[in-house]
């Protein structure tokens, strides 16, 4: 489902107005949360949406200047968790991340421009398999990938992609655990992360 802001983007909290909810055209059935990324590709702003189908397949939808394109399957991987999208702004690429249900690893593929590139293992050395949560990806000049480990105390791990390679997986410096997918966003160049451990939320800036 989708809704659109109908008031100005500078509206005050509590005073913003939205259109009624409507189905995303052609969207498949899903049993987990969707993920989105806004990309600037060849001077066109494009919205990418990805979901995991109830059968484990990964689906991708795109909305550009001419509206929604037909949804397509990103083949080659079946997942058991929500995917994550990121716009890699330094070279105008869109990457899709997902947990492989076969072994719990995090894998990714480039999906912009109609691509369906082969899936590649994400992150460097030190993976804690199987990862216990869905992945969360963000871009702060480098791709930042976060995921929860399955081993008590369920530390939140990060691996960064910079200069063409992934660095080693490491627990984030705050020591926060994740029993659900971490939430991450670029805030003025810093990575702001909200983690959930059981029912407790924790917010932190992650270096």
* DSSP-derived secondary structure letter, 133: S
* Within-domain flag for 147: yes
Specify the CATH number for the domain of residue 52.
2.40.10
Both 69 and 157 in one domain: the answer is no
The residue among 163, 98, 186 whose CA lies nearest residue 135 is 98
Q: Domain for residue 10, yes or no?
A: no
Residue 144 has pLDDT above 90, yes or no: yes
Separation CA 98–CA 52 (nearest Å): 9
Give the model's pLDDT for residue 108.
98
Tell whether 36 and 72 lie within a shared domain: yes
**96 with 145, same domain?**
no
Residue 67 inside a domain? The answer is: yes
Q: Are 38 and 45 in contact (CB under 8 A)?
A: yes
> How high is the pLDDT of residue 128?
95
Residues 101 and 144 in one domain: no
pLDDT tens sequence across 192-205: 999 999 888 999 99
Which of 122, 152, 186 is the last residue in one of the domains? 122
* Vertex 185: Cα angle to 92 and 120 (nearest 5): 50
Average pLDDT over residues 59-63: 96
pLDDT digits (tens, 9 = 90+) for 106-140: 999 999 999 989 999 999 999 999 999 999 999 99
Asked if the structure places residue 2 within a domain, the reply is no
In a domain, 13, yes or no: no
Residues 100 and 171 in one domain: no
Tens-place pLDDT, residues 173-194: 999 999 999 999 999 989 999 9
Give the number of domains in the chain.
2
Do 71 and 136 fall into the same domain? no
Mean pLDDT (the chain, rounded): 95
Measured at the alpha carbon of residue 43, what is the angle toward residues 85 and 8, in degrees to the nearest 5?
75
Find out whether the peptide bond into 151 is cis, omega within 30 degrees of 0: no
Predicted TM-score (pTM) of the model is 0.93
- Please tell me whether residues 128 and 204 are part of one structural domain: yes
Report the side by side order of strands in the sheet with 84-88. Answer: 84-88, 93-99, 106-110, 120-121
145 with 180, same domain: the answer is: yes
Neighbours of 181 (CB within 10 A): 23
Q: Are residues 85 and 111 in the same domain?
A: yes
What was the pLDDT predicted at 174? 93
Q: Are residues 135 and 191 in the same domain?
A: yes
Domain carrying residue 188: 123-207
Residue 26 maps to a domain:
yes
Question: Can you give the pLDDT at residue 7?
Answer: 93
Q: How far apart are CA 166 and CA 153, in angstroms?
A: 24
Final residue of a structural domain among 122, 142, 162? 122
The pLDDT of residue 69 is 93
| pLDDT > 90? residue 44 | yes
pLDDT of residue 26: 87
Considering 72, 94, 122, which residue would you say is the last residue of a domain?
122
Q: Please, what is the Cα angle at 47 between 45 and 48, to 5 degrees?
A: 135
Are 133 and 40 in the same domain? no
| Same-domain status, 187 and 137 | yes
Least confident of 1-5, 6-10, 58-62, 71-75: 1-5
């Amino acid at each position: 489902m989708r809704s659109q802001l109908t008031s100005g983007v500078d509206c005050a909290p509590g005073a913003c107005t939205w259109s009624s909810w409507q189905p995303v055209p052609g969207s498949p059935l899903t049993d987990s949360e969707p993920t989105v990324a806004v990309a600037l590709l060849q001077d066109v702003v494009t919205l990418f949406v990805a979901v995991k189908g109830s059968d484990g397949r990964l689906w991708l939808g795109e909305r550009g200047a001419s509206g929604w394109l037909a949804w397509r399957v990103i083949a080659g991987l079946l997942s058991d968790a929500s995917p994550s999208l990121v716009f890699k702004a330094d070279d105008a690429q869109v990457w899709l991340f997902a947990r492989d249900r076969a072994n719990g690893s995090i894998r990714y593929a480039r999906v912009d421009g109609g691509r369906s590139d082969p899936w590649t293992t994400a992150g460097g050395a030190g993976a804690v398999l199987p990862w216990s949560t869905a992945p969360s990806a963000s871009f702060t000049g480098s791709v930042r990938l976060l995921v929860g480990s399955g081993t008590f105390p369920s530390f939140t791990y990060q691996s960064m992609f910079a200069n063409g390679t992934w660095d080693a997986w490491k627990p984030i410096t705050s020591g926060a655990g994740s029993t659900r997918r971490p939430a991450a966003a670029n805030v003025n160049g810093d990575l702001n992360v909200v983690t959930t451990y059981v029912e407790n939320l924790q917010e932190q800036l992650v270096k």
